[in-house]
Amino acid sequence: MDASPFTGGFQYPEDPDVWATPVGHGTVAASLVLPEVPYGPWVISPVLVGTFGAAGAPQVAVTTTATAVLQAFDPSITASTGDYWADVTLGTTTYQPLVLAPGATGTITLTIQPAAGSVGKTLAGSIYVDAANPNDVWSAGDEIATLPYAYTVGH
The reported pLDDT for the residue numbered 82 is 93
DSSP state of 119: T
Residues 6+ apart with CB under 8 A from 64: 44, 46
Strands (E), 2-121: 2-5, 18-19, 21-24, 27-29, 42-45, 77-79, 110-112
Q: What gap in Å lies between CA 101 and CA 146, rounded to an integer?
A: 22
User: In angstroms, what CA-CA distances link 143 with 30, 122, 132, 155?
Assistant: 24, 26, 9, 34
pLDDT of residue 75: 86
- Domain extent listing, the chain: 1-69, 77-152
pLDDT at residue number 147: 92
pLDDT tens, residue order, the chain (155 aa): 777 776 665 555 556 678 888 899 888 888 888 777 766 677 788 877 778 888 888 888 888 888 878 788 888 899 999 998 889 888 999 999 888 899 999 999 999 999 889 999 999 988 988 887 777 655 667 778 889 999 999 98
CA 39 to CA 134: how far, in whole Å?
Answer: 12
Quick one: pLDDT at residue 50?
A: 77
